Amino acid sequence: MKKILILLALVLCATNFLWAQIDEKLKKDIRNTGYLHNSPLPLDYSKSFEVFGLTKKVVKSDLFSDMEDLNGWSHEGIGGLKLTKERSISGKNSLRLTAPTTYPQFLDWGLGFGTSMASFDVNGANWEKYNRIRLFIYPNCEGDRSIYLNLYIENDGKIKVPDKYGREGIHEMNLINGQWNEVFVEMPELPRDKVTKLKFAIEVFGKERTMGDSLIFDIDAVSLETVENPEVVSGWTPAKNRIIHSTTGYRVQSDKSAIVRVEKHNGNFELIDHATNDVVYNGKINRKKTLIGDFETINFSDFKKEGQYTIRVGEVTTKPFYINQNIWDDSAWRVLNFIFCERCGYPVPGKHGACHADLNGTFNEKVFPVNGGWHDAADMSQQTLQTGELAYSLLEMASNAKEKNNQELYLRLMEEAKWGLDYILKTRLDDGYRAQTWGTNLWTDGFIGTKDDSTKRRKVRVHDRAFENFLFSGIEAYASTMIADDEMLKFNLQKVAIEDYAFAKERFDRLGFDELSGGGGGDHAAMASNSQYMANISYSASLLFKLTGDQYYAKEAAKAIKYTLDCQRTQPLKDKDRLRGFFYRDLNKKSIVHYTHQSRDFIYMQALTTLCETQPDNPDYQKWKASIEMYGDYLKTIMKYVDPYGMMPSGVYHVDEVKDSLNFYRVQVGISEGAGKDYKKQLENGVKLDSEHYLRVFPVWFSFRGNAAVHLSTGKAAALSGKFLNDKKLLDIAEQQLFWIVGKNPFGQSLIWGEGSNYAQQYTALLGETVGEIPVGMQSKFNGDEPYWPQFNTATYKEIWNSSATKWLSLISEF
């Protein structure tokens, strides 16, 4: 009944909705999906990278395997390998790789239950004259709504593939069931001087509701090719004849800039009205020498007429983009679509049934179900805190939509947020305990107590760690202020916010920071520094003060932030800019705050600006303001290290941070020792500031890479401080983080599928390609400090992740 009422409200808002949308096709798609209820948004491949890639001129093509015999092929794992005459692209046969949809036990290798792998012995061939592999795949997987096949290339030359973290040379190919798929992967920088193996692999992830018993993939016509103008996949210089811009577009008052690499032009650019094909603006192309290279740039910030436009330089023209005051609202719908599809325990039409009902935990000898909220990523894991933070960002964006009188977006965001809030309440147990995390990598069988819900990573972690309870209390308090149509829920959220803060405070007062290292484990919250911890306490207390008016919480907020302020660097470094304003992890000041994967970098400015808002007469107000100003100056200063791009640098590092092992390895996922040598190399590939400090554009990281959540979080901090200080430069820096995500990066790709143009396949695993999906983010190559974005599609950097979606919504809510 509730769903029907929401749909009715959305329909009644249709007139305003038609005015609010920018993209006419999106407007129609949203209506046809029942406002993201009856189905997900349809996939538009026409603007995808893969469609563009297949138009490239092939200058050399050699058939690698025609699949007419099995010579050179072998099989390992579950399932089987054979030839089939049922269908082919060339010749009489194709190679058929099969696997069951489920398996009675877990193998010791591969993901999920295990892998069915076909391997071809390449015998150390040199493939350096080729830069692309192209092939055809026909999936015949009964009832499967998420189809992909993995491709592996192994090299035993100067540089080994896969690398030591198992990331290089692995490519997930997302496919359409029941038809031939023409697929390719470019490999301009993949080491391939001594290729030993070419492999195809089916990962067995269990039997989703509509699936049959088997997975069948027919593979044919594998070719090694050389194409003209292969993609540039590393560094700051774009490929030839590209105009690097925000493929979504710009707000009316945005800093509207772009980077040009066009071989032949007359020194000018033109802005073209897409509807009339008229030239509406002319400008000069400027040459610019920066710390990362020599570039040609354009700027049309003084053009402020709303519409749809293209940029033309010489004979190169971009795809259409928009100039609109509410440019980011369409992306909210698309990312919301992704979030909806990630719902756990809910039947998402066209994606999956009501899932994971058998996953359970135990508390006080009682068993309870834990499905609900949203899956964390492509692997269907779940972290209650991530669901909580996602619900919070949905509420932030709902507040933005309400302010703009965008009622239909407001209602749909509120509905989705309530789905997450229900899970927060569901996972609360007694005395501060909560069901916190579980992992699965499976569609489970629905029977409680079988291996797919009771072993290894699938066990639910239950604990009462104070850090999470502080965070949840703030989320619950903010949610209570936002609920306008359910008085009982509103009251309950206020009640539990007060209770959770009390649970957290009692434990923290008893154990201090030591409580963070015990009782949790296996989750991103454990990365938190002491300075972040205290900022989180302050912010949650401020939200409770806003909710209740109780001065107790005002005092708590002001007290907690003192520790954080004592962790801020106020003494200038010895570099030429005399940098200061960043934060250390704790009072020892051995390690500076950095994030490598998950990030809550915004919390410092969130806590401080909220303190200033709620307690303007506090004696410490000027200290809080000075801290915000100092941090804002720091952000503005370090942006020169990425000019003319706008991605926020990771920041300052001390040469001896790796020696502070407890802090250092807490923020690194996948390693726990032995990083000293690589740490030194990574710093040396950054910018030396003084004898003890370096600046890195990308984080120091190892196995887990991808920085979307990292720079979007710092972008949020820039927006918060910019609004408080009325500083347009900081607000421009904040918006540059959005531009980077949707195409103003050296590769000209939008990292949000379906948003803007030139968006590529991502590592979607169990969910399948989805409008609005956003990955972990851009990486750097090995120990370097330049962007690296190969087409190879694997975790972690290209794995779709709700944390990135959370940070996206949170940042666009500021505009």
All domains of the chain, ordered by start, with CATH?
A: 2-49 (no CATH), 57-227 (2.60.120.430), 249-323 (2.60.40.10), 329-812 (1.50.10.10)
Query: What band does 14 get if pLDDT is binned at 50, 70 and 90?
Result: very low
**DSSP state, 462?**
E
8 Å CB contact between 69 and 195: no
Kindly report whether the peptide bond that precedes residue 796 is cis, defined as omega within 30 degrees of 0.
Answer: yes
The predicted pLDDT at position 20 comes to: 58
Residue 239 CB coordination number (10 Å): 15
Q: Measure the CA–CA gap between 373 and 382, rounded to whole angstroms.
A: 8
The pair phi, psi for residue 135, each rounded to 5°, is -155, 175
508-538 pLDDT per residue, tens? 999 999 988 754 445 678 789 999 999 999 9
8 Å CB contact between 677 and 720: no
- Name the one residue in this structure whose structure tokens are 């690398």: 163
Residue 184 confidence (pLDDT) above 70: yes
The pair phi, psi for residue 365, each rounded to 5°, is 65, 15
Query: What band does 807 get if pLDDT is binned at 50, 70 and 90?
Result: very high
β-bridge partners, 750:
759
**What percent of the chain clears pLDDT 90, i.e. is strictly above it?**
88
Q: Mean pLDDT throughout 560-589? A: 98
Mean pLDDT of the chain: 94
Q: Which two tokens stand for residue 794?
A: 């694997």
- Name the one residue in this structure whose structure tokens are 């190399």: 681
Residue 756 CB coordination number (10 Å): 27
8 Å CB contact between 683 and 653: yes
Query: What band does 10 get if pLDDT is binned at 50, 70 and 90?
Result: low
Residue 801 confidence (pLDDT) above 50: yes
User: HSE of 25 in the Cβ direction (CA atoms, 13 Å)?
Assistant: 9
8 Å CB contact between 358 and 442: no
Predicted TM-score of the model (pTM): 0.96
**208 CA to centre of own chain:** 25
User: Which of 493, 406, 499 lies closest to 813, judged by CA?
Assistant: 406
8 Å CB contact between 664 and 755: no
416-442 burial: b if 16+ Cβ within 10 Å, else e: bbbbbbebbebbbbeebbbbbbbbbbb
Dihedral of the alpha carbons of 492, 497, 498, 502, in degrees to the nearest 10: 140
8 Å CB contact between 609 and 724: yes
β-bridge partners, 206:
443
β-bridge partners, 258:
298
Name residues whose C-beta falls within 8 Å of residue 302's C-beta, 6 or more positions apart in sequence. Answer: none
User: Which of 553, 426, 382 lies closest to 477, judged by CA?
Assistant: 553
8 Å CB contact between 554 and 614: yes
Q: Measure the CA–CA gap between 699 and 595, rounded to whole angstroms.
A: 7
User: Which of 143, 200, 206 lies closest to 177, judged by CA?
Assistant: 143
DSSP secondary structure letters along 25-79: HHHHHHHHTTTTTSSPPPP-GGGBHHHHHTTSPEEEEEEEE--SS-TTEEEEESS
Kindly report whether the peptide bond that precedes residue 790 is cis, defined as omega within 30 degrees of 0.
Answer: no
250-298 pLDDT per residue, tens? 999 999 999 999 999 999 999 999 999 999 999 999 999 999 999 999 9
Residue 16 confidence (pLDDT) above 70: no
748-800 pLDDT per residue, tens? 999 999 999 999 999 999 999 999 999 999 999 999 999 999 999 998 999 99
- Name the one residue in this structure whose structure tokens are 């994967």: 597
- Alpha-helix runs per DSSP H in 405-529: 407-426, 451-454, 466-482, 487-511
Dihedral of the alpha carbons of 247, 251, 255, 260, in degrees to the nearest 10: 20
- Alpha-helix runs per DSSP H in 483-620: 487-511, 530-548, 551-566, 603-614
**What percent of the chain clears pLDDT 70, i.e. is strictly above it?**
96
Query: What band does 457 get if pLDDT is binned at 50, 70 and 90?
Result: low
The predicted pLDDT at position 419 comes to: 98
**DSSP state, 759?**
B
The predicted pLDDT at position 245 comes to: 98
- Name the one residue in this structure whose structure tokens are 């106020």: 570
Q: Mean pLDDT throughout 132-137? A: 98
Residue 18 confidence (pLDDT) above 60: no
CA gyration radius for the chain?
26
Residue 560 confidence (pLDDT) above 50: yes
72-89 burial: b if 16+ Cβ within 10 Å, else e: ebebebbbebebbeeebb
622-674 pLDDT per residue, tens? 999 999 999 999 999 999 999 999 999 999 999 999 999 889 998 888 788 88
8 Å CB contact between 690 and 574: yes
Residue 111 confidence (pLDDT) above 50: yes
The predicted pLDDT at position 19 comes to: 44
**28 CA to centre of own chain:** 27
β-bridge partners, 216:
98
DSSP secondary structure letters along 92-149: S-EEEEEEES--SS--SSSSBTEEEEEEEEEEEE--TT--EEEEEEEE--TT-SSEEE
Residue 584 confidence (pLDDT) above 90: yes
Q: Which helix (H) or strand (E) holds 312?
A: strand 307-313
User: Which of 130, 131, 147, 227 lies closest to 181, judged by CA?
Assistant: 147
8 Å CB contact between 781 and 746: no
The predicted pLDDT at position 669 comes to: 80
Q: Measure the CA–CA gap between 326 and 746, rounded to whole angstroms.
A: 25
The predicted pLDDT at position 774 comes to: 98
Q: Which helix (H) or strand (E) holds 275?
A: none
